């Protein structure tokens, strides 16, 4: 092969490499990894909430021993929520994502009941440890909402790329094992407006 032919072949390989890099061939794995990272953020915040619960239950228990049913409910909901683990491969299974979401929603409801019980105990409401735990829990709930929103946005971008051009071409050829990921949906009770009493 002559020197001119080698230069032309090298230029052709370089041009093809640049055009492939610019045409979105890496977009699907990039978006998939972003969605997985956002999912890790969601799990991290769920774990933070689960870690706060034993301290909160112990604090409430010291003041409100007669609220055993509520305390047991929170403990059981925490156990169920922490027993469900999803890895990145499970994110394409809507049933597994829904099971986790249902367990986390049940835990959130149990925590709401626990915090509502605290209204009946003025000494508990003024306890510094309880107030600190309550503030941490509220902050964690906000972090969960942000992490879930970021995950939903990342999944939307990934799923859209799988279904639109040129991503659909790469999804059907190079990334045929890539499947759409499941996103969170609103809990059924979120559709009803809250009742406010004065």
What is the pLDDT, as a whole number, of residue 167? Answer: 92
pLDDT of 99 higher than 90: yes
Q: Provide the residue range defining the domain that includes 35.
A: 26-167
Stretch 7-29: mean pLDDT, rounded? 75
Q: Within a domain: residue 3?
A: no
pLDDT tens digits along 42-73: 999 999 999 999 999 999 988 887 888 899 99
Q: Within a domain: residue 144?
A: yes
pLDDT of 196 higher than 80: no
Contact 133, 161 (CB under 8 A): no
The alpha carbon torsion through 157, 158, 161, 162 (nearest 10 deg) reads -150
Contact 52, 137 (CB under 8 A): yes
Q: Within a domain: residue 14?
A: no
pLDDT category of residue 1 using cuts at 50, 70 and 90:
confident
pLDDT of 115 higher than 50: yes
What is the pLDDT, as a whole number, of residue 192? Answer: 52
Q: Is 80 exposed, middle or buried (0-12, 13-18, 19+ CB in 10 A)?
A: middle
| CATH (domain of 65) | 1.20.1440.20
Q: Within a domain: residue 16?
A: no
Question: Of 135, 138, 111, whose CA–CA distance to 53 is shortest?
Answer: 111
Integer Cα distance of 109 and 138 in angstroms: 14
**Considering its fold, how many domains does the chain have in total?**
1
Integer Cα distance of 109 and 150 in angstroms: 23
Q: Within a domain: residue 153?
A: yes
What are the DSSP calls for 147-176, one per residue? HHHHHHHHHHHHHHHHHSTTHHHHHHTTTT
pLDDT of 122 higher than 70: yes
Q: Within a domain: residue 49?
A: yes
pLDDT tens digits along 145-189: 999 999 999 999 999 999 999 999 999 999 999 999 998 877 665
Question: Of 103, 134, 104, 140, whose CA–CA distance to 116 is shortest?
Answer: 134
Q: Within a domain: residue 161?
A: yes
Q: Within a domain: residue 176?
A: no
């Amino acid at each position: 092969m002559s020197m001119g032919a080698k230069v032309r072949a090298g230029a052709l390989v370089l041009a093809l490499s640049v055009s492939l890099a610019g045409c979105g061939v890496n977009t699907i794995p990039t978006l998939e990894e972003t969605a997985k990272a956002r999912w890790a953020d969601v799990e991290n915040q769920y774990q933070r909430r689960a870690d706060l619960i034993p301290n909160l239950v112990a604090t409430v228990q010291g003041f409100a021993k007669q609220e055993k049913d509520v305390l047991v409910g929170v403990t059981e909901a925490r156990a169920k929520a922490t027993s469900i683990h999803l890895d990145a491969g499970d994110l394409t299974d809507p049933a597994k994502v829904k099971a986790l979401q249902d367990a986390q929603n049940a835990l959130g409801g149990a925590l709401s009941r626990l915090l509502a019980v605290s209204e009946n105990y003025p000494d508990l409401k003024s306890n510094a440890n309880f107030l600190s735990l309550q503030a941490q829990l509220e902050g964690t709930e906000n972090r969960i909402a942000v992490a879930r929103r970021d995950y939903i946005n990342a999944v939307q971008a990934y799923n859209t790329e799988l279904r639109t051009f040129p991503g659909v071409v790469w999804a059907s050829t190079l990334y045929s094992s890539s499947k759409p990921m499941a996103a969170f949906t609103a809990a059924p009770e979120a559709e009803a407006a809250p009742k406010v009493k004065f």
